[in-house]
Amino acid sequence: MGHLGLLLSPVFVRLAQSVGLLERIFFVVLLVRIVASFFPPRQEGIWNAIAGLSVRLTEPILAPIRRRIPLMGMLDLSPLIAFFLVDIAGFLLSTLFLYLARL
Predicted confidence at residue 67, as pLDDT, reads: 92
Q: Beta strands of the chain (E only): which ranges? A: none
Predicted confidence at residue 31, as pLDDT, reads: 96
CA-closest candidate to residue 61, choices 92, 99, 30: 30
Q: Which residues contact 93 (CB under 8 A, 6 or more apart)?
A: 16, 19
pLDDT in tens, 23-68: 999 999 999 999 998 988 788 889 999 999 999 999 999 999 999 9
Dist CA 6 CA 97 (whole Å): 14
